[in-house]
């Protein structure tokens, strides 16, 4: 039973730069899986446009989930009446423009990533950062070139950019027929056939597809077809054909061209997920034994979202199931404390609506309500104990000192810091010189600081202020190097809550200077170590 459920599951995330079309694509996928009957149901226009300030308003209103959620789609590749269902879990990365650790953590919960790029813009900074995390974790990547209905680059230009800049070899499964801005359809490189799309009003419904053989395609599209065929042949000559092993090893990337807005290429993405993306696999525990998917239930918490309801101190922990069958109501053990945890109120998410789940399988994401003791990286299990390695923390790039405005609130302030620290909202750094009253918070993206200020006030009743510190990078160091580093200008040494010693350095020139003058000191880059 579990093996069958696992075989038909695919869990992935879309990695992209803001505005490339992730929300539109998410909606298009939901439309194709017939979860919604018209595009526009999940992300209203206003939702898509939400800015930093809207986001804080939403958090304050405590109504809307803006952090990672998982959308489960039941997709029937063979048509709406088929019994052959693939369960697709799309784990959403935070949609706002800021970049935080949440985004990275989500990537520890997926088995594949879809790298969505804008046909006119190619690789953009946030895509690159997320790509590095995927590569580090060895996650297979499917590339989708979106907005092909708008003027953009040529397929070969985009392929070159990806190969040269990030060393990932795109292997297009389809070649577009018609240049960017004149998207007619796709040449299916596996069959040699032509999939011709028809626009629907406003792109609100599934675009009808017509399947033509090569002769019919030539008759219909003339030069556009000839160009597509030539491009496909050129790719084959260059050895850029799909190779499943290379894809799973993260070396090559099946590539698709789409217009999420017109629903072109969306079915092809779903088909690729069903046919090529890997199903959930067993996972190695800290002691390196592997828990297979068919072993008893176990799961990893990858995201904690708190304070959605300020009166209840609501705390929702999202777990990704690693092995076994999950049944709501099951009492599981929290590996970090050894304490039991009751799962009476397990929930799955659809858009902004929560629904109760009764059973779930490896690859699925389930939200646990009132999960006060759970933190990102924690393991839950039944039967034989298992504990998975912690989620790595990422190299922070923003550092600020946090202070309570009123000294009278010191106790709540400390409690709040511990709470936010354990949830992984920010990293907390301390040293003897600064003392406990003004810890230094380290973040991957500056919006993490705003979240802290807002939650300090609404949940703990403490007004706080930030004072940015003049450091831009962190390096891992050790006790033996700490004293000498502490004497350097533009450097300050801290201990993080997990015990790691970090040297914060003003800028890369200062770092280069110290590395040159004091080559005996430990200064290691902080990298993801998943």
- Binding region: 92-96
For residues 222 to 261, the per-residue mask of contacts with ligand G4P, x marking binding by CB under 6 A and - elsewhere, is -------------------------------------xxx
In the bound state with ligand G4P, the residue whose beta carbon lies nearer, of 24 and 171, is 24
CA angle centred on 268, ends 265 and 270, rounded to 5°: 115
Q: Cβ of residue 245: shortest distance to ligand G4P, in angstroms?
A: 31
Instruction: Pick the closer one to ligand G4P by CB: 24 or 268.
Output: 24
Q: CB 49 → ligand G4P: shortest distance, Å?
A: 6
For ligand G4P, which is the closer residue by CB, 95 or 170? 95
Nearest to 438 by CA among 467, 415, 475: 467
Distance of closest approach, residue 263 Cβ to ligand G4P, in angstroms: 9
Per CB under 6 A, 91 contacts ligand G4P: no
Site pattern 92..121 for ligand G4P (x: CB under 6 A)? ---x--------------------------
Q: Which stretch binds ligand G4P (CB under 6 A): 12-20, 223-231, 306-314, 366-374?
A: 12-20
Residue 43 vs 315, nearer CB to ligand G4P: 43
Q: Pick from 69, 93, 103, 146 the residue near ligand G4P by CB under 6 A.
A: 146
How many residues line the site for ligand G4P (CB under 6 A)? 18
Per CB under 6 A, the segment of 21-29, 100-108, 280-288, 310-318 that binds ligand G4P is: 21-29
Q: Which of 5, 10, 24, 272 binds ligand G4P (CB under 6 A)?
A: 24
- Structure token digits, residue 192: 């040699």
Which residues, including other chains, have CB under 8 Å from residue 138's CB and lie 6 or more apart? 249, 250
CB 221 within 8 A of CB 211: no
Residue 249 structure tokens: 């090893």
Report if residue 86 touches ligand G4P, rule: CB under 6 A: no
Residue in the structure block whose two tokens are 């369960």: 87
Give bridge partners of residue 499 from the DSSP assignment.
none
- Here the tokens at position 450 are 């705003």
Pairing of β 315-323 and β 365-368: antiparallel
Strand, coil or helix: 482: helix
From candidates 9, 21, 33, 279, binder to ligand G4P by CB under 6 A? 21
Q: In this complex, which beta carbon is closest to ligand G4P, that of residue 24 or of residue 298?
A: 24
Q: How many CB atoms lie within 10 A of CB 445?
A: 20
| 19 near ligand G4P (CB under 6 A) | yes
Query: From residue 301, how far is each of 94, 336, 395, 423, 525 by CA, in Å?
Result: 17, 11, 21, 11, 26
For 409, the 3-state DSSP assignment is: helix
- Residues 14 and 88: beta-carbon distance below 8 Å: no
Out of 105, 147, 153, 398, the residue judged to bind ligand G4P by CB under 6 A? 147
Any contact of residue 278 with ligand G4P (CB under 6 A)?
A: no
Token look-up 């090569």 returns: 214
The residue from 4, 45, 489, 516 that contacts ligand G4P (CB under 6 A) is 45
In a 13 Å sphere around the CA of 172, the CA atoms on its Cβ side amount to 31
Q: Look at the block and give the residue holding tokens 């996928």.
A: 29
Q: How far apart are CA 42 and CA 10, in angstroms?
A: 21
Please identify which residue in 5, 59, 102, 149 interacts with ligand G4P, judged by CB under 6 A.
149
Q: Which residues are documented as binding site for GTP?
A: 92-96
Contacting range for ligand G4P; rule: CB under 6 A; set: 77-85, 146-154, 293-301, 434-442: 146-154
Residues 6 or more apart in contact with residue 212 via CB below 8 angstroms = 193, 194, 196, 220
CB of 65 to ligand G4P, least distance (A): 16
CB 64 within 8 A of CB 352: yes
Read off the tokens for 468. Answer: 């940015």
Other beta carbons less than 10 A from residue 216's beta carbon: 15
Min CB(205)–ligand G4P separation in Å: 15
In the bound complex, which residue of the shown chain has the CB atom lying closest to ligand G4P? 21
Residue 116 gets which letter from DSSP? E
Cβ nearer to ligand G4P, comparing 72 with 259: 259
H or E element that contains 304: strand 298-306
Q: How far is the CB of 142 from ligand G4P (least distance, A)?
A: 16
How far is the C-alpha of 446 from the C-alpha of 466, rounded, in Å?
11
Residue list 317-376, contact with ligand G4P (CB under 6 A) = none
Binding of residue 23 to ligand G4P (CB under 6 A): yes
Question: Is 258 exposed, middle or buried (CB count within 10 Å of its CB: 0-12, 13-18, 19+)?
Answer: buried
Q: Which region among 147-155, 226-234, 384-392, 405-413 touches ligand G4P (by CB under 6 A)?
A: 147-155
Buried residues in 118-143 as b, exposed as e (16+ CB within 10 A): bbbebbeebbebbbebbbbbebbbbb
Question: Cβ closer to ligand G4P: 180 or 308?
Answer: 180
Q: How far is the CB of 259 from ligand G4P (least distance, A)?
A: 4
Nearest Cα residue to 422 out of 373, 371, 476, 494? 373
Residue 19 or 161 with smaller CB distance to ligand G4P: 19
What is the binding site for ligand G4P (CB under 6 A)? Answer: 16, 18-24, 45, 48, 95, 146-147, 149-150, 259-261
């Amino acid at each position: 039973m579990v093996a069958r459920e696992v075989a038909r599951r695919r869990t992935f995330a879309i990695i992209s730069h803001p505005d490339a079309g992730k929300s539109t694509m998410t909606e298009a996928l939901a439309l194709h899986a017939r979860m919604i009957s018209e595009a526009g149901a999940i992300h209203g226009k206003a939702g898509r446009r939400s800015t930093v300030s809207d986001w804080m308003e939403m958090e304050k209103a405590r109504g809307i989930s803006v952090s990672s959620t998982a959308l489960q789609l039941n997709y029937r590749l063979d048509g709406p009446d088929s019994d052959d269902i693939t369960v697709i879990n799309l784990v959403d990365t935070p949609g706002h423009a800021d970049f935080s650790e949440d985004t990275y953590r989500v990537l520890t919960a997926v088995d594949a990533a879809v790298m969505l790029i804008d046909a006119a813009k190619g690789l953009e900074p946030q895509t690159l950062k997320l790509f590095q995390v995927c590569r580090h974790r060895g996650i297979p990547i499917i590339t989708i070139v979106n907005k092909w209905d708008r003027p953009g680059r040529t397929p070969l230009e985009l392929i070159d950019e990806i190969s040269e800049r990030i060393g990932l070899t795109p292997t297009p499964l389809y070649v577009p027929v018609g240049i960017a801005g004149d998207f007619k359809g796709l040449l299916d490189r596996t069959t040699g056939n032509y999939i011709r799309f028809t626009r629907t009003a406003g792109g609100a419904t599934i675009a009808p597809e017509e399947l033509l053989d090569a002769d019919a395609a030539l008759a219909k599209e003339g030069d556009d077809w000839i160009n597509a065929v030539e491009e496909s042949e050129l790719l084959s000559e260059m050895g850029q054909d799909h190779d499943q092993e290379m894809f799973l090893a993260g070396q090559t990337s099946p590539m698709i061209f789409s217009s999420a807005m017109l629903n072109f290429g969306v079915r092809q993405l779903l088909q690729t997920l069903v046919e090529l993306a890997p199903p959930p696999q067993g996972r190695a525990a800290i002691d390196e034994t592997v828990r297979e998917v068919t072993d008893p239930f176990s799961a990893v918490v990858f995201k904690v979202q708190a304070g959605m309801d300020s009166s209840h101190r609501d705390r929702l922990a999202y777990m990704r199931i690693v092995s076994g069958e999950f049944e709501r109501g099951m009492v599981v053990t929290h590996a970090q404390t050894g304490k039991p945890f009751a799962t009476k109120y397990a929930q799955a998410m659809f858009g902004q609506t929560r629904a109760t789940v009764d059973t779930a399988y490896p690859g699925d994401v389930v939200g646990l309500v009132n999960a006060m003791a759970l933190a990102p990286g924690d393991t839950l299990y039944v039967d034989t104990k298992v504990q998975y390695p912690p989620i790595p923390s990422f190299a922070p790039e923003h550092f600020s000192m946090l202070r309570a405005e009123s000294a009278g609130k010191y106790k709540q302030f400390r409690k709040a810091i511990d709470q936010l620290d354990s949830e992984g909202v920010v990293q907390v750094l301390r040293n003897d010189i600064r003392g406990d009253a003004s810890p230094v918070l380290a973040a991957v993206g500056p919006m993490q600081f705003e979240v802290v200020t807002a939650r300090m006030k609404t949940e703990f009743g403490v007004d706080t202020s930030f004072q940015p510190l003049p450091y831009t990078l962190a390096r891992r160091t050790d006790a033996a190097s700490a004293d000498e580093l502490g004497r350097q200008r533009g450097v300050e040494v801290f201990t993080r809550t997990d015990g790691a010693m970090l040297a914060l350095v003003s800028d890369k020139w200062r770092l280069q200077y110290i590395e040159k003058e004091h080559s005996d000191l430990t200064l290691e880059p902080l990298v993801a170590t998943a």
